[in-house]
Structure 1
Amino acid sequence: MTGPTPDGMRGQPPERRRATAWAWPSDGGGRAGGSYAPGLTAAVPAGQGPAMPDLAAGRLYRAVSGVDGEARPMADAERAELHDPLAEVFFRHGRFPMSSRELLAGLDGAGAVPEQSVFLVSESGQLPPPAAPGLHRDIRYAITRAERGRIPDLLISTGANSDPDTTFLQVAAWDAQAGHFNYYMRIRPAWVWTGDSWSALAPASRGHGCFDSHVNGSVVMKELKQPWIHWQSMAATIRLAPDDPLRGDPLYGQVAGAEQLETTVKALVGRWTDARLAKVTAGGTVDRPDHLLRQLFTSTTVNLTSTSVQSATVRADGDDLVLPIGFWLNGDALLDDLGLPVASAPPRVPAALYLGSLSRFGFRMQERTSGFSQPGDTFFAFLVPEAAREDNDVVHRMVLAGIVPAKFAAAALMVDFPNPVYSTDRARLMAYVPTAPTPAAALADSVADAITTAARGLPQDSPEARFAEHWALADDAWPTAFAARVDTYLGRAAARTGTPEGFDDLTRLAESRRRDFRSRKLNEFELTLPVTDIPADAPRLRMNEDATVTTTAPAPVTQGATP
């Protein structure tokens, strides 16, 4: 789970995760602007974030990146507006826990949000300790606290295998009265409020601080689906040495599987989406419709998905690998939410072709900050970005609420559907979305009319013309028509995947999408993804509907870019 992390609090010792991917220039393996020295607990992008002067003990400060030039004590009136469990149990009574142990003990003592679940995540956690004796293994707890029988109101992120008094401590806290999450972090000897869910959507703070990861204001679990790569789960275990001190930590004894956290995170994303939609559509008018529809037309963020096969167990004469449906199309939205009657299964790749690609393209797990390198793929094979749950959730709930019809969502998603993430074609359609308040009943028609009008003067293969063709389908015909196209595409993809040339193309395409992900701040750790010998400046690639792979334009900049 990604916690609330400011861009870099100048003037304070860092209390952040050791974000190794931020340590390098943006060369496809990291992102620009970071500085890193081995032994520090964080990579601090130079010159970013509010200045953090010496903080006074026993105070709650405000420091919203992109808005506040310097951290300042929160006024009494501001603190009075915070109604989440962290504020009500601690800050309102002048209590400021300095470690996760103090925080949890304080909640227990107050009888607040008593139902606790503990989860464990580490990008290096599924590497056998003897195979990487010098590797700094960043292991983190994600802890949830809830009222009994309800979804959590507190999510706590902190280091598991480091000093609890000095490791990072970050909290996302649900304020039921306000209907949003508040984001906090401890910066000794105080606590800092770094914004709320609405800060993620505000132009000045969007994409800054903790909202470089919580880009739409909700909680984040990148590896949301089975096999929950990097998490302890029913599919894999975080591997510890027999004498690892973590084994003696009481929290470690409570660790549950990430399959439980998946359900929790989905519910929390939905809770924020419902609260957000209720507020921005009050009175029948959609306020800033572009803020909603960018989650249909662009990839504001992504999740990570893979096969369920451990890469080390693949044998040349073994079973085929079923590549994740999220690599081929946005199956969650098109198949599950919109119900396209697609009959085809995801394409399979012969195990021998997969193994050959690992050596041919020089796959390895690599962390330059430590010098660690190991040949091969991630623990679970073929890890790639897929369409984000939080984007799909907004679209799905807009359809359920009648803000846009299912046909409108499908017509948009079927534009360039073989590229479920980072599509320049779908992103181009954002130009036709209004920014001014728009009656909800007229929103879909107004956008569709603008696109179809523009399409008359554009080539037949333009994104506008393709949307117009989709929109012209009869209301009872579009599900079958779209499903037939998806079935044809998956059939062609299955045929190409079984050939050496075809799978090499898919390998290059997967790496192209991973490069797009690496350029986002959500990419914190070098060991999240495999490294290959494909050049970092290789042309960006796209999948075509005939299942061929060709070059395409640079990825659209969507994170924090829409005002």
Structure 2
Amino acid sequence: MACRWMSKIIRSLCVFLLCSTAGWTACSIINESNEQAPKMNDVLGLLLTEMDSCPKDVFALRELLKQLGLKLDTTMVANRGFHNPSQGSFSLFEMVSGNAKLTTATTVSPGEFFFGHFTAVDDANHLIADQNPVKDSLMIEALAWDQQKRVFNFYELRGEGEQGQWFYRGDSQDIFADNEWLHRQEDPFHPKFGRRLRCSGCHGAGGPIMKELDSPHNDWWEPNRKLDFGGREADKKLAEILETLVPPDYLAKNVVIGLRKLLDTHSSQQQSLSLQEQLRPLFCPVELNLASDSATNDENKDEVIIPTGFFVDERLVDTPITILVARAFYQLAYKRVGSNFPETNLEDADHAWLTPVKARSDRMAIDALIARGVIDDKFVADVLGIDMTNPVFSSIRCQLLRFLPELSFGWREKFIANLVKSSEPVAHELAQNLVNPELTPRFYRARAQQFLENCRIKLKNPENVAELYKLLVQRRKEIRTSEISANPRGQILEPGFRVIFPESEIEDQRKLTLTLDCHVEEEA
């Protein structure tokens, strides 16, 4: 009896101590299993667990970061087009850096801590930071570098009805695991993805992402070209945030720094991945970027620049050739297909010839493979030489990924043998490329250079511009049909939330291809 009584006291004391310990943590951070997340070693995870008060919205988080001595730089993008403020939908992406005054001094370097949040319109028609904690609303999304794990941790603050609740969603390694079978599906018509975190659908490289990475950063706020709020005033709280706005190239630089940090840290760990996973960014897209004419359509310049990355992987270009088309030809081309920008009376996006291009993150991954000695420049050029005029969404090139052996030892010989045994002509083409010493990187660069020159000449004809524009429409659609957009938990274009491209009235057509003499033709 005495033992049972003493046992109850001990159990009660244990419960009291556990509750007291939990009380020392200002914020509860829930993981995907709806349990308390373990302590993380990134600055966001540390401040959420160490500070006396828990930031339940973006205003409190920003104030807390400033109290810790950290610097905030903010960028802003129009979610539904530069000239479409109708819904008051904008995204703010903030970068954090400096020395945090936590229990232990924590240095936050550029490229290590990002968070994003969104705007809305209130009943008084003011533009506001959307921090309404309605159930399951996304109030903040964040990623921060974990100094111990050496990966990015991903967080969300979601509405719980009365206030926000912090969630730890996973890290870079979870994204790699979720995307293990990307472009390697047993059944491509029923692709399978892991379900560890929602972020896997967009952040395929495991780190920060910015689709409009290179200038001119279509749809982003610039100091000399600010976004149109539709005549609305920002309320006081949002106005304070807008005071820290910086040009989008600040974010672009930080994104690249973050990606580089992740690649450098994980170069050795990448060796634990299958060879197909390691070389996937060479054969297939993992992420994508967007490129366009450098001038805005508002400037109405006489000529439009078509980005080189539309024609060919820029790795194959030694001397850039500027491909210009007359604006009159360009306008005729998009009018023919009934181009219209959703929710507006406009016919085009803010910048002309807005197109998907090979992602910087994929190109950086290829550079890392070369630096590690996994592949060399000739191997890269041999692969990119397959369907060379389709630099991003080439199903022909991507399907060759499956011929790579899983293991790395003696893989080149096995790869060539697998290609030779195949009944597919494109596999034989790559096998011949790989063993032909005369097909050097210089050879492919010369071929790419001649191809670009052919295009420069051909596009002086308005009919050729019109045909090439149809190919542009197809490539925009290919983003949605690509496997990178098949993850049920998230898609890189964020459909329904972002409006990026104009739409067209082109009916279903046979797939178009671009020949080396720059002729657009229907696929046989």
The interval holding the TM-score normalised by the smaller chain is: 0.7 to 0.9
2:215 counterpart (196, 206, 226): 226
What is the aligned partner in structure 2 of residue 465 from structure 1?
428
What is the aligned partner in structure 2 of residue 357 from structure 1?
333
1:334 counterpart (299, 316, 321): 316
CA pair 540-478 structure 1, distance change in 2 beyond 3 A: same
Shift of 1:228: 0.2
Q: Provide the secondary structure at the position in 1 that maps to 2:267.
A: helix
What is the aligned partner in structure 1 of residue 515 from structure 2?
544
User: Any idea what the Cα deviations from partners look like across 1:170-191, whole Å, max 9, x if unmatched?
Assistant: 1111112111111110123421
Matched AA of 1:453? V
**Larger RCO: 1 or 2 (CA < 8 Å, sep 6+):** 1
Task: Check the 8 A contact 2:78/2:89 in 1, yes or no.
Answer: yes
Q: Provide the secondary structure at the position in 2 that maps to 1:90.
A: helix
Structure 1 range deviating more: 102-111 or 190-199: 102-111
CA pair 270-102 structure 1, distance change in 2 beyond 3 A: same
Query: Partners of 1:92 and 1:422 in 2: how far apart?
Result: 46
**2:400 corresponds to 1:429:** yes
Q: Provide the secondary structure at the position in 2 that maps to 1:162.
A: strand
Matched AA of 2:332? G
Q: Provide the secondary structure at the position in 1 that maps to 2:345.
A: strand
Query: Partners of 1:214 and 1:208 in 2: how far apart?
Result: 10
Matched AA of 2:78? S
Residue-pair matches, total: 451
**2:32 corresponds to 1:59:** no
What is the aligned partner in structure 1 of residue 156 from structure 2?
185
What is the aligned partner in structure 2 of residue 268 from structure 1?
258
**2:54 corresponds to 1:91:** no
Task: Check the 8 A contact 2:338/2:505 in 1, yes or no.
Answer: yes
What is the aligned partner in structure 1 of residue 23 from structure 2?
none
Query: Partners of 2:441 and 2:290 in 1: how far apart?
Result: 27
Query: Partners of 2:195 and 2:363 in 1: how far apart?
Result: 19
Task: Check the 8 A contact 2:92/2:118 in 1, yes or no.
Answer: yes
Shift of 1:450: 3.3
Query: Partners of 2:385 and 2:29 in 1: how far apart?
Result: 48
Consecutive unaligned residues of structure 2, counting only runs of 5 or more, are 1-25, 100-107, 120-126, 133-137, 179-192, 486-490
Task: Check the 8 A contact 2:212/2:289 in 1, yes or no.
Answer: yes
Q: Which runs of 4+ in 1 moved over 4 A?
A: 92-95
**2:208 corresponds to 1:249:** no
Q: Provide the secondary structure at the position in 1 that maps to 2:154.
A: strand
What is the aligned partner in structure 2 of residue 19 from structure 1?
none
CA pair 451-502 structure 1, distance change in 2 beyond 3 A: farther
Query: Partners of 2:225 and 2:240 in 1: how far apart?
Result: 21
Query: Partners of 2:210 and 2:224 in 1: how far apart?
Result: 16
Matched AA of 1:262? A
Percent same amino acid among aligned pairs? Answer: 21
CA pair 164-128 structure 1, distance change in 2 beyond 3 A: closer
**2:199 corresponds to 1:213:** no
Matched AA of 1:194? R
Query: Partners of 2:467 and 2:257 in 1: how far apart?
Result: 37
**2:88 corresponds to 1:141:** no
What is the aligned partner in structure 2 of residue 11 from structure 1?
none
CA pair 451-348 structure 1, distance change in 2 beyond 3 A: farther
What TM-score do you get using the length of structure 2 for normalisation? Answer: 0.80
What is the aligned partner in structure 2 of residue 510 from structure 1?
472
Q: Greater CA radius of gyration, 1 or 2?
A: 2
Matched AA of 1:217? G
Shift of 1:446: 3.9
**2:288 corresponds to 1:302:** yes
Q: Provide the secondary structure at the position in 2 that maps to 1:277.
A: coil
Matched AA of 1:147? G
Matched AA of 2:34? R
1:289 counterpart (275, 296, 301): 275
Matched AA of 1:257? P
Q: Provide the secondary structure at the position in 2 that maps to 1:103.
A: helix
**2:511 corresponds to 1:528:** no
What is the aligned partner in structure 2 of residue 107 from structure 1?
65
Query: Partners of 2:352 and 2:114 in 1: how far apart?
Result: 29
User: Any idea what the Cα deviations from partners look like across 1:194-226, whole Å, max 9, x if unmatched?
Assistant: 111111111452696111111231111011111
Matched AA of 2:492? L
Shift of 1:309: 2.1
Q: Provide the secondary structure at the position in 2 that maps to 1:353.
A: helix
**2:299 corresponds to 1:322:** no
What TM-score do you get using the length of structure 1 for normalisation? Answer: 0.75
Task: Check the 8 A contact 2:128/2:235 in 1, yes or no.
Answer: no
Query: Partners of 1:168 and 1:474 in 2: how far apart?
Result: 56
What is the aligned partner in structure 2 of residue 53 from structure 1?
none
Query: Partners of 2:196 and 2:397 in 1: how far apart?
Result: 21
Query: Partners of 1:234 and 1:416 in 2: how far apart?
Result: 41
Shift of 1:447: 5.6
CA pair 548-483 structure 1, distance change in 2 beyond 3 A: same
CA pair 322-408 structure 1, distance change in 2 beyond 3 A: same
What is the aligned partner in structure 1 of residue 299 from structure 2?
313
